[in-house]
Amino acid sequence: MEPKVVYETDRLLVRDWAPADGDRVFDIYRRWEVARWLGADPKVMADRDTANRVIDRWNERNQDPTYGVWAVHERATDTVAGTVLLVPLPDPSDGTAARGEVEVGWHFHPDAWGRGLATEAARGAIGHGFKAGLAQIYAVVRPDNAASLAVCHRLGMRSLGRTTRWYDAELESFLI
């Protein structure tokens, strides 16, 4: 069965994950240059079996038509370039998604960096969210992640400054 396509852009097909994507997921998240920006306590993916479990977990989240953690498939190379996500931000008091705040995010393989793919995928995710009725969307980025900060600016997001509100880390927050 083909994975469900969520949206398309000029160069990208954004879709649910397929079991065959496991090697690429592992190749992306085993790299410190990717993992260092993720979570309060960044760590690389330890093994290929973890990639399979992560794909299953992401696809479970993708059941809601508005939200998800999706594969960004580059048409020109016929390769998964990375991940784009549109997910509820955790409530700072208890970790649930009760406040209705939504985050756009992206994680890409280094071989996909520097070609505008993250901006294109995130722009599509924001459009998807607005079309689904979201009124605003946040991005949260580690302060020293210059590439992701640049994506936020290219997307036209407004800087809200630094916060420790989400993910137990000091992050730059943006809103569109």
Residue-wise pLDDT tens digits, 105-115: 999 999 999 99
pLDDT the model gives residue 151: 98
Cα–Cα dist 122/115, whole Å = 13
Residue-wise pLDDT tens digits, 128-149: 999 999 999 999 999 999 999 9
| Coil vs helix vs strand at 126 | helix
Residue-wise pLDDT tens digits, 53-108: 999 999 998 999 999 999 999 999 999 999 999 999 987 765 555 568 999 999 99
Sole residue written with tokens 């496991």: 22
Using the predicted structure, report yes or no on whether residue 34 has a pLDDT greater than 70.
yes
Which residues is 83 bridged to in the sheet?
71, 107
pLDDT, the chain, mean: 94
Using the predicted structure, report yes or no on whether residue 157 has a pLDDT greater than 80.
yes
Domains of the chain, by residue range, sit at: 5-175
pLDDT the model gives residue 29: 98
Q: What is the CATH number of domain 5-175?
A: 3.40.630.30
Mean pLDDT of 29-41: 94
